[in-house]
Structure 1
Amino acid sequence: MKISKIISGFLIALLLATSLAGCTSTRTQASTGEYIDDSVVTSSVKALIYDDPELKIGQVSVKTFKGVVQLSGFVNSKQAADRAAALAKSVKGVERVDNSLIVK
């Protein structure tokens, strides 16, 4: 009886440890919280770009991973590319902006 309680306790602790490990992040995979934060950052950057009269959301793609925003697509001028990067940098939670926008 005593051994079965010890084994049960060990299995419960092991199950708890593995379930918590599923919520942590790795170098290539974001945790649940980081994923949600990245989604909020992406939405905020897209909203700023969409509301800017010089930029068009249909031509600019925004992706975020662990606070790093990747801008890609096409813009009409170097100033527009710089403006999109500046807007992205202004969003809370942005660690860095990788500006891969191409001037048409």
Structure 2
Amino acid sequence: MAKSKIIARTLISLLLMVALLGCASTPTSSSTGEFIDDSVITTKVKTLLAQDAGLKVFQISVETYKGVVQLSGFVDSQKTKEHAEKIARSVQGVVSVKNNLILK
């Protein structure tokens, strides 16, 4: 009886460890929590860009991976490009910003 309890506890422990390791991030993929965090950051940056009267008219794409925000699209001036980057950096959780906006 005691031996079967030990085996059952060991199996349950192993299952829990496998489940937790399945949610861990790797260098090429993000964990579930990181994915959700990145989605929240992307949404916040997009919302702030859409609320800004000077940036609302531009089509700016925002992608986030492990806290790194990438901005892409076209803007009309260097000042607008820098302003979009400043907005992205202001969002909590942003590690860095890759500003790939192109002047048209």
Deviations 1:9-56 (A, max 9, x none): 332221111001122111121112211111111111101111111213
- The residue aligned with 1:47 is 47
Contact persistence 1:59–1:73 (CA under 8 A):
yes
**Per-residue deviation, residues 62-86 of structure 1 (Å, max 9, x unmatched):** 0111110000111111111111000
Instruction: Show the counterpart of 1:65.
Output: 65
Output the CA distance in 2 between the equivalents of 1:39 and 1:57. 23
| Contact kept? 1:49, 1:57, Cα under 8 Å | no
Say if 1:86 and 1:102 are closer, same or farther in 2 by CA, change over 3 A: same
CA pair 4-61 structure 1, distance change in 2 beyond 3 A: same
Question: 1:49 is matched by which residue type in structure 2?
Answer: L
Aligned pairs, number: 104
Alpha-carbon distance in 2 for matches of 1:58, 1:35: 26
Secondary structure, counterpart of 1:53 in structure 2: coil
Percent of aligned positions that are identical: 56
Contact 1:49-1:84 within 8 A present in 2 as well: yes
Q: Hey, what does 1:11 align to over in structure 2? A: 11
Q: Give the TM-score normalised by the residue count of structure 2.
A: 0.88
TM-score by length of 1: 0.88
Structure 1 spans left out of the alignment, 5+ residues: none
Q: Which runs of 5+ in 2 are unaligned?
A: none
Tell me, in whole angstroms, the C-alpha distance in 2 between the residues paired with 1:58 and 1:64.
Answer: 19
Q: Counterparts of 1:46 and 1:55 in 2: how far apart (Å)? A: 10
